[in-house]
Amino acid sequence: MRMGHTVNFKEELAARTARAEEVLARFLPPQEGPAKELADAMSYSLLAGGKRLRPVLMAETFAVFGGEGAVIEPFMAGMEMIHTHSLIHDDLPALDNDDLRRGRPTTHRVYGEAAAILAGDALLNYAYETMCRAFGMGHDTDAVARTLSLIAEKTGIRGMLGGQSVDVALEGKPIPADTLSYIYEKKTAALIEASMTAGAVLAGADEADTAVLLEAARKIGVAFQIRDDILDVEGDQAALGKPVHSDEKNNKTTYVTLYGLAEADRCVQKLSGEALALLSGLKADTSFLQELTRAMTTRRF
């Protein structure tokens, strides 16, 4: 049943998040055999909590455009595995060198640096192994293939990893505004784009609606990252579950360092407003997506 405006958003979000958690738990590799420690590290990282925004967004767009059945589930799990892989590697000493993630010691602090690298690699590979299970679930194979292809593009050199590479290459150096926008669009927004458009494509949405979702997702993703910049300055470590002032520690250029807190906040409001306008213009019921957009771009944690 689709959500109406009278339904409590927090309850709806909690229900969708709980479903995402259950899906993730089902698709994890068994923690047994000679590679048990690797499976343990993968599970430790993946089940450490978090907002599960990407699988929630994916499942919602799938439902919005009439998708039915469990075929969305391997993609939900795979997307969160890809996201968690990026977090494990972000936290490594060679990158951000952080000790906390989601309120717990980071993977390399618990299992060691080498095991953390392998756990990140394994999650990325296992994500695609998991998503390929959709081919055996009786769904339109062309839609499954197109969904898998777009996720691969948005997470690779033309997406998340490409953005991450530029971010790392320019660490400690001044970054011009256009390059910073590129980093945010690729490193952060690309996974939001992949999540929202994957659900729509798998459900059979037409190209026009998918294009609108893609543009809305890009704006949401960039606004989400700028909000993260703001929280790194004025957020609470206990609420965030990770260190604050990490950007300052690593001498990173952010929207806050370029424009200041007030202007960064205005950018978030502008981008989120534009995304909401795009979502409201779709013929489908996007009320939950709109509420989730507001929650993502005004969050305190």
Rounded Cα gap, residues 297 and 111, in angstroms: 33
* Residue 123 confidence (pLDDT) above 80: yes
**DSSP annotation string for 5-58:** TTS-HHHHHHHHHHHHHHHHHHHSPPS-STTHHHHHHHHHHHTS----HHHHHH
What does the pLDDT read at residue 268?
97
Residue 299: which pLDDT band, with cuts at 50, 70 and 90? confident
What is 9-298's CATH topology? Farnesyl Diphosphate Synthase (1.10.600)
Residue 241: which pLDDT band, with cuts at 50, 70 and 90? low
Return the domain boundaries, the chain. Answer: 9-298
Averaged over 26-45, what is the pLDDT? Answer: 94
Helix (H) or strand (E) segment spanning residue 101:
strand 100-101
Averaged over 265-292, what is the pLDDT? Answer: 96
Q: What percent of the chain has pLDDT over 70?
A: 92
Q: 226 or 244: which carries more pLDDT confidence?
A: 226
Q: pLDDT (tens digit, 9 = 90+) per residue, 159-214?
A: 999 999 999 999 888 899 999 999 999 999 999 999 999 999 999 999 999 999 99
Rounded Cα gap, residues 288 and 279, in angstroms: 10
Residue 234: which pLDDT band, with cuts at 50, 70 and 90? confident
Token output for 2? 């689709």
Q: Is the dihedral of CA 201, 165, 123, 295 positive or negative?
A: negative
What does the pLDDT read at residue 244?
54
Residue 249: which pLDDT band, with cuts at 50, 70 and 90? low
* Residue 37 confidence (pLDDT) above 50: yes
Work out the mean pLDDT of the chain and round it to a whole number: 92
* Residue 133 confidence (pLDDT) above 90: yes
* pTM for the full predicted model: 0.91
Contacts for 41 with CB less than 8 Å, ≥ 6 apart: 107, 110, 111, 115, 116, 118, 119
Q: pLDDT (tens digit, 9 = 90+) per residue, 143-165?
A: 999 999 999 999 999 999 999 99
